[in-house]
Amino acid sequence: MIDKALSGDVRAIARLISEVESETPRSEEIMRAMYPHTGRAHIIGVTGSPGSGKSSLVSKMIGTLRRQGKTVGVIAVDPSSPFSGGAILADRIRMQEHSGDPGVYIRSMGSRGSLGGLSKTTYEGALILDACGKDVVIIETVGVGQSEIDIVRIADTVCLVLVPGMGDDMQIMKAGIMEIADLFVINKADREGADKVAAEVRLMIKMFHTGDGWIQPVKMTSAATGAGLDELHDTIEGHLKHVRSSEEGAERLKKRLQWEVEEIVRRRIAKITESAWRERREERVIEKLLNKETDPYRVAQEVLDSAMGDFRSGQLL
């Protein structure tokens, strides 16, 4: 299965991503096999508010890349239901125009659990597509939460999509995504107010820019008409060249590896503590908390002690 996927077999790739997404016992083995083959693809993060037209823009970007003969993988991250754990309605509505093209692989992935699960499986999905030979991997996320910030951190090039008329302009800055964007895309640029948004963004870039390195370009596009798409593509390519040749880019790769290790550590610890906590919960600890016979700090320490006991006895790793 792994060999098949590495040679580009779409079904095998889909299976690997599913195993990793559901965190089956094989998922670590899969990722270790992928690891030596990673680092070739250009990983592009596309993020922006709901309603900014990200999906349509990504669909157009795929078209441009395909005309240049490049293969493309897309991971579309859907914040999922906190109850069902699955992505909602994602596959049905997304980028259907490329569904018949064997050079394009599109995958929706949901977030899961509250123990920091969103980003790791998404990232692993992107690594699988990279290892299995996609020239470009696009990660599309809604750009507000911390998880989304984590995801765009791992991309070579981060595009922040803005749109005129979304109301409070401050939101761009409040979301903290301003600083992680490598370039800004003003989408729906035929709408009234596009020039104003672009001017504001350019002003902010000037205010925040610290001297050296990459100056974030601001590009106008219309995913509906296709206007500006070629120029956007050239800018993204230019950024990759910058990343691959600069000190800034090397620093970024180091940070990515660091983040990757941290994610694995976090995941493993989550497993240990979840199990320790499950045991304690059965001992009516919640009732004791409700009656204020104990407090959350004491219970947390008990869970930790028990988890460390499990770790020592080798039960869980």
Q: By C-beta, is 48 or 73 nearer to a second copy?
A: 48
- Pair 221, 227: CB distance under 8 Å: yes
Contact string (CB under 8 A) for a second copy, positions 64-93, x = contact: --------------xxxxxx----xxx--x
Where does residue 211 fall: left (phi above 0), alpha (psi -120 to 50 degrees), or beta otherwise?
A: left
Q: Kindly tell me which residue out of 204, 214, 259, 275 binds a second copy, with binding defined by CB under 8 A.
A: 259
- 265, exposed or middle or buried, with CB in 10 Å at 0-12, 13-18, 19+? exposed
Q: By C-beta, is 205 or 304 nearer to a second copy?
A: 304
Q: Kindly tell me which residue out of 175, 194, 197, 232 binds a second copy, with binding defined by CB under 8 A.
A: 175
Chain positions 105 to 164 lying near a second copy, rule: CB under 8 A, are: 111, 114-116, 118, 142, 144-150, 153, 163
Q: Kindly tell me which residue out of 49, 59, 71, 157 binds a second copy, with binding defined by CB under 8 A.
A: 49
Minimum distance between the CB of residue 121 and a second copy, rounded to whole angstroms?
13
Instruction: Encode burial over 33-64: b for 16+ CB neighbours within 10 A, e otherwise.
Output: bbeeebeebbbbbbbbbeebbbbbbbbbbbbb
Q: By C-beta, is 136 or 149 nearer to a second copy?
A: 149
Cα Rg of the chain (Å, integer) = 22
The two three-digit tokens of residue 302, written as one number: 């008990």
Q: Kindly tell me which residue out of 66, 242, 266, 271 binds a second copy, with binding defined by CB under 8 A.
A: 266
The two three-digit tokens of residue 263, written as one number: 């994610």
Chain positions 275 to 314 lying near a second copy, rule: CB under 8 A, are: 277, 281, 285-286, 289-290, 292, 295-297, 299-301, 303-304, 307-308, 311-312
Which residues, at least 6 apart from 94, have a Cβ–Cβ distance to it below 8 Å?
A: 55, 76, 106, 108
Q: Compute how many residues bind a second copy; rule: CB under 8 A.
A: 82
Spatial separation of the C-alpha atoms in residues 251 and 290, rounded to whole Å: 48
Find the part of the chain contacting a second copy (CB under 8 A) among 2-10, 175-183, 228-236, 239-247: 175-183
Chain positions 214 to 253 lying near a second copy, rule: CB under 8 A, are: 253
Minimum distance between the CB of residue 61 and a second copy, rounded to whole angstroms?
18
Q: By C-beta, is 71 or 156 nearer to a second copy?
A: 156
Helix (H) or strand (E) holding 78: strand 72-78
Backbone φ and ψ of 110, nearest 5°: -90, 165
Q: Using alpha carbons, select from 116, 190, 115, 187 the residue that is nearest to residue 149.
A: 116
Minimum distance between the CB of residue 67 and a second copy, rounded to whole angstroms?
27
Minimum distance between the CB of residue 182 and a second copy, rounded to whole angstroms?
14
